[in-house]
Structure 1
Amino acid sequence: MYKHVLAGYPALLKANEFTERQLNKIRRALDSELQGSPYKDQITIVTVGSYGRGEASESSDLDLYILFNSDRDAEDVISSELSSIKRVLDSIVPNETGSTGTFGANVCIRFSDIQNNIGGKNDTNADITRRLLFLLEGTWLYGNKRFRSYRQDLLARYIKPSGSDGKLARFLLNDIIRYYRTIATDFEHKVSDQNKEWGLRQAKLRFSRKILYFSGILAVAETADLPQQQTLEKISDWFDYQGLERIYEAAPGLQQTRKVMELYEHFLAQISDPEIRQTLERLEKEERDNCPPYCELREKGVELSSVLTEWLKEQYPAEHQIHQALLF
């Protein structure tokens, strides 16, 4: 149904179809490359970012990390497999992954690294990012069954069967809120202290990061009145959808849903245009008011915030738990 809806949004449809083709190609190649490995059942490869959201293009990099189910160091056990994985991925998606070290074919961690210490002193920025993106926009490149099992295990850390029925998954909601605020703070650090490019990052913050956050709130809100065990199962189902798709599936009839998709279509079309994308990539903060593409996206981003606010009010009555939970 959603794929048919995308027919009315050419930029979204093009990105969705490109992503699907690329993911299928990557999955087949990795399956072939790793089929002879004695450790193949201990390896899971996760992708997030534009490939996780179904918005990839020729200019996209591949944000990923590898989960290795072993107490032994991956470099000591599967070094040849890691080299093979990198070779395969580089041959299909040659664009270099960002330099933060959070993602990349060389990032191999244990699942316990993102599952444990949630909110504790050892819960690093990298762990928060990998954990929340795993849930909010992650999909698998290798090891589909393990990916889904890990997701259930991770959600079970947030949603306890012994918890009160008919209550919001507040632990999960609080971590989603915390992560979104971390994104905003991290943005300022990257552009101010690390001199990272500003314009394109700012546009993404106004659109894709906003949808990431809002669609996470939605998943929690849609399961508010269920028994805890059912909440656990249903939230996992909601995370099967990509962020924008999640908004559509929750309220296909709302006029605000249509407006959200129109605004996001415009954003994606703009940043998919090579000339506009290069303009945004080169844009300095001090020159923003002299850049028409940026000014237009800024206005559309403000409009998106207003539409999403209205969406929340229309979809959930005033007495719904989500409204108070977002404040307190």
Structure 2
Amino acid sequence: MHEALTHASDRLGIELPALSQASDFSTTEIQEARQFFMSRLGENHGLDIVVCGSMARREMSTASDFDFLVVGHSLVEDATRFRSFRAACEDWCDERALKPPGSTGIFGRVVAATELVDQIGLDSDTNASLTRRILMLEEGVSVLEPHLHRKFAKVAIGRYLHGGQSEPGGTPRFLLNDVVRYWRTIAVDYQAKVWQSLTPNDWGLRYLKLRISRKLTFVATLASLFLVELRRPEDSRTFLVDQFVEVPALARLAQLSDDLADEDQSLAYLREVLVVAEEFSEFLADDDRRTAAKEVLPPAREATDEVFSAMRERSIQLQQALEGLFFESPTLGPLSRKYLSF
């Protein structure tokens, strides 16, 4: 488990065994994936394989998907390499009994890093490109050539910072706005998918993931952006690159335990947030509870399944704790009101 999470759990007096186990499992899978792809594909092809999702967030379970993108960083002379990279990813899924990317078309594709960085906003920035760019920043992990992924993060963050900050050393508003845009987009798209589907498969589990896992990733990113203003690093760009490349999402949120050290109520809210994250990690690792949640149909308020209802109640309590943490804290409250309201 990342040292920031370990440090926070010690400071807050909580144990996180499920998150620790998921982190160890994820780290092992990432290391073995790197060995597999390096042996299978070699390096210096101008292509990288970036994984998102629970594996990248170090929250993986045996039921997790392998959500990958083949990312082009330069023009590849042999176009058949695109197919060989995708085939290697499919073989990895078969070998490890991992679920391949879902049917949405976001993952399992070849994408150009330059387009993701250059086309921010306006009509050319589709839902797909927005999703890929933000997820690659928020939780992406390279399983082939990590230096290329770090280069992507450096260039992407530089592009956002070029748009300006509110003030020297302030929170990067351009990047923050795009992160908020992505969060609002997936929330709206989720409702659209429920509306369009006459038989919403796995609805209950997707509902809980949106309200817990995805929400935690969003607020973890807000924490990193606010830390630019709170800690005033000498080099904001390098600080953010390190945050996104080196620190998993939940660990970025856990870092706040140091910045809120004198705020007992804020630390209590942070403690509750991490406890819910721990409980949901344990929930996701339990096949019976996952299956029960998948079988629940909308709307949530009419669900009768006790397993689903209990976790939904915890998601409500998570929301309340996050509201307290970000809006009642003397440290975070002014930033939240300034950057998240108007």
TM-score, L = length of structure 2: 0.86
SS state of the match for residue 223, structure 1? helix
1:289 aligns with 2:306: no
The one of 165, 173, 193 aligned to 2:168: 165
The one of 135, 155, 158 aligned to 2:157: 155
Aligned to 1:121: 123
Structure-2 separation of matches of 1:32 and 1:130: 26
Structure-1 separation of matches of 2:55 and 2:113: 21
1:56 aligns with 2:56: no
What is the CA-CA distance between 1:256 and the residue it aligns to? 2.2
Map 1:123-142 → 2, pairs under 5 A: 123-142=125-144
Structure-1 separation of matches of 2:232 and 2:321: 31
SS state of the match for residue 285, structure 1? coil
Root mean square deviation, CA, Å: 2.4
Residues 1:22 and 1:226: Cα distance change in structure 2 (over 3 Å): closer
SS state of the match for residue 65, structure 2? coil
1:303 aligns with 2:323: no
Aligned to 1:264: 277
Map 1:51-130 → 2, pairs under 5 A: 51-71=55-75, 75-104=79-108, 107-130=109-132
Residues 1:10 and 1:317: Cα distance change in structure 2 (over 3 Å): closer
Aligned to 1:324: 338
Map 1:210-221 → 2, pairs under 5 A: 210-221=215-226
Structure-2 separation of matches of 1:131 and 1:201: 21
What is the letter of the counterpart of residue 192 of structure 1? W
Q: Per-residue displacement from partner, 1:33-90 (whole Å, max 9, x unpaired)?
A: 122x6xx341111111111111111111111101123345874454334423432343
- What runs of 5+ residues in structure 2 fail to find an aligned partner? 262-266
Q: How many equivalent residue pairs?
A: 323
Contact 1:31–1:142 (8 Å) recurs in 2: yes
The one of 231, 246, 250 aligned to 1:244: 250
Map 1:194-209 → 2, pairs under 5 A: 194=197, 195-209=200-214
Structure-1 separation of matches of 2:86 and 2:211: 35
Contact 2:51–2:143 (8 Å) recurs in 1: yes
What is the CA-CA distance between 1:96 and the residue it aligns to? 2.8
Residues 1:302 and 1:286: Cα distance change in structure 2 (over 3 Å): closer
Residues 1:161 and 1:327: Cα distance change in structure 2 (over 3 Å): closer
Aligned to 2:239: 234
Q: Per-residue displacement from partner, 1:218-245 (whole Å, max 9, x unpaired)?
A: 1111102677972212122222211211
Deviates most, 168-177 or 271-280: 271-280
What is the CA-CA distance between 1:209 and the residue it aligns to? 0.9
Residues 1:11 and 1:116: Cα distance change in structure 2 (over 3 Å): same
Contact 1:74–1:108 (8 Å) recurs in 2: no
What is the CA-CA distance between 1:314 and the residue it aligns to? 5.7
Deviates most, 200-209 or 7-16: 7-16
Contact 1:61–1:93 (8 Å) recurs in 2: no
Residues 1:78 and 1:319: Cα distance change in structure 2 (over 3 Å): closer
Contact 1:26–1:89 (8 Å) recurs in 2: no
Contact 2:183–2:218 (8 Å) recurs in 1: yes
Structure-2 separation of matches of 1:226 and 1:177: 22
SS state of the match for residue 109, structure 1? strand
- What runs of 5+ residues in structure 1 fail to find an aligned partner? none
Structure-2 separation of matches of 1:4 and 1:13: 9
Contact 1:159–1:228 (8 Å) recurs in 2: no
How many percent identity over aligned positions? 27
